[in-house]
Structure 1
């Protein structure tokens, strides 16, 4: 079975909805025809000229990258820098580039979970859950149709809370209405007041699913006019947010943990604040530049905070309360390409999937 680029992108955006990306980000299909059939997919952290050439040599016409090659608007394509040269090369060889960036950072099964898995952390949870990503739907159904309406809402993505699905709140009551002479009511008669035993249905859903939730409701509901209310919630969404925290299988001392960190993440060097001479059990992580989460890492009770791109003066903010480890941006996120391949292989079993062999790290160590 042949798949199109659009089908692959749609699946990835079910896994990590584009709505969860930061406002500055550019997680989307950057080059390529969405309707083109897939010949192969190359997974990478960065899309560079060398990666595009590698895709061409492998016969792949889709590159799935974590970092977007284009962050700012391009006003010309003259090949004056590596961004323009990469885009020109991709277009020349009809290779699509899709970026799945901060949206993949922000889902519970995303980049930070991959880091936790590499470190062998258990009992993981989002370090800084996002607020205002959920809505509540309240609607009313005749009792005999409640099961069908509820199932339609669940199938559309409502009622999922963490590891629980099909979550709802139901209350039976009495609904009243008077159809006009122009109405064609499902129950009752035009011009006559009617009372009906109904179920009040309440479900939560992610904001970005609103359109399909309402469509499912109206399709499944038997009434000519469907009464419903939508409410945006300020609740924290425990499945969406920045960073992650988890626990080691056993307590280590600080030197043991640093050796474990270097081995698990294949690191040449670790920059860190002074050790605190205490036991190590809880670890906070954030792939890429994550020092903005330091206060949350401290509040979580973590003994170490693993991230990258920490500035000199930001190391002082450890305040002898936590050990900050800067392991490098590339090093913290390189295993994202494995994560992408794992995600894609669960759905597209007959597409050739490759992990890039190009080292895109712009930093070298001696």
Structure 2
């Protein structure tokens, strides 16, 4: 039996809800976390046609990139498509889970898969995020240091870039005096005790704080565990928006645009004036990425692939970069395959299907 909460857990380990933007509505839209799931339908958008697709095949979970609505719902009268979708999903006992800017923010998410399909190497996040990391410092009796350190690493502490198990360790002496009502691990009540300890410093993701502290308290031998948490201004190189990488063989701008069109299936590409430079480095951002234009230029990209550029934003390219606006749907459609690969790997004997409904609201004449 596969419960909805088990599937949500796997998705959120990959794309934590803590990574979503403030305006977003990532997470469970409808459904009971304890409901049994019979089948999963994956889509970019939840439309009425997609909902009917799930109903016709007996699938009771829809996993989407875009939420049914970004704004709150105050009534369910059926006056809008979003209201009709939510009402019918509830009536049919169909769960809807969306991972939007949370999966935009992971390095192997929306922009990552587009970069890979374009054949880019040396990939890195275009705009790494800050404010998502903490420094954990704790003090452990010497003989327990390895046990506590390993437990913290297993819980998700100590990740720096492509390195794990990262920590700094300093030996010293700790002092304490146990008062009435205590049960000290070492020392005697009423007497100051000196204990050889190791100061362990490590970085932890903010969204894993509670889990890591729980592990610390469970593995540390002291009745009262001393620890400090410091907010960090460090960037997290694996979390952020967009991606940038290198082509193994430089292309002309025309060849690069043809390659982008082929990979994404875009019917047309809105672009700025071609500069005439060879294309060696490409920046991408699935969805509305115009806010990253300056970052793409600063990082030396020759072409920036994204969508939803406004008229005057095209002028901001200023012959420093070629903007390739391929369309919102076209830039994010591969997200379905990210979900599919994740869920089929985690639940190999379970029915997971990509919808055959095209949800792109933009048509070309």
TM-score between the two structures when normalised by the length of structure 2: 0.98
- Please name the residue that 1:130 is paired with: 129
Determine if contact 2:257/2:324 at 8 Å carries over to the other structure: no
How many Å apart are 1:5 and its aligned residue?
A: 0.7
- Please name the residue that 1:360 is paired with: 359
- Please name the residue that 2:226 is paired with: 227
Determine if contact 2:43/2:62 at 8 Å carries over to the other structure: yes
- Please name the residue that 1:118 is paired with: 117
* CA–CA distance in structure 2, aligned partners of residues 89 and 281 of structure 1: 49
* CA–CA distance in structure 1, aligned partners of residues 56 and 336 of structure 2: 19
SS in structure 1 of the partner of residue 149 of structure 2: helix
Determine if contact 1:30/1:70 at 8 Å carries over to the other structure: no
Instruction: Pick which of 96-105 and 83-92 moved more.
Output: 83-92
SS in structure 2 of the partner of residue 318 of structure 1: coil
Does 2:341 match 1:342? yes
- Please name the residue that 1:204 is paired with: 203
- Please name the residue that 2:15 is paired with: 16
* CA–CA distance in structure 1, aligned partners of residues 181 and 191 of structure 2: 12
How many Å apart are 1:262 and its aligned residue?
A: 0.9
* CA–CA distance in structure 2, aligned partners of residues 237 and 66 of structure 1: 23
Determine if contact 1:276/1:320 at 8 Å carries over to the other structure: yes
How many Å apart are 1:147 and its aligned residue?
A: 0.8
- Please name the residue that 1:140 is paired with: 139
How many Å apart are 1:182 and its aligned residue?
A: 3.2
How many Å apart are 1:180 and its aligned residue?
A: 2.0
- Please name the residue that 1:79 is paired with: 78
Alignment of 1:65-214 (within 5 A): 65-214=64-213
* CA–CA distance in structure 2, aligned partners of residues 11 and 339 of structure 1: 13
SS in structure 1 of the partner of residue 316 of structure 2: helix
How many Å apart are 1:321 and its aligned residue?
A: 0.2
SS in structure 1 of the partner of residue 284 of structure 2: strand
* CA–CA distance in structure 2, aligned partners of residues 187 and 345 of structure 1: 50
For structure 2, list consecutive stretches of 5 or more residues without a partner in the other structure: none
Alignment of 1:198-277 (within 5 A): 198-277=197-276
- Count residues with an aligned counterpart: 365
TM-score between the two structures when normalised by the length of structure 1: 0.98
Does 2:38 match 1:39? yes
* CA–CA distance in structure 2, aligned partners of residues 23 and 365 of structure 1: 33
For structure 1, list consecutive stretches of 5 or more residues without a partner in the other structure: none
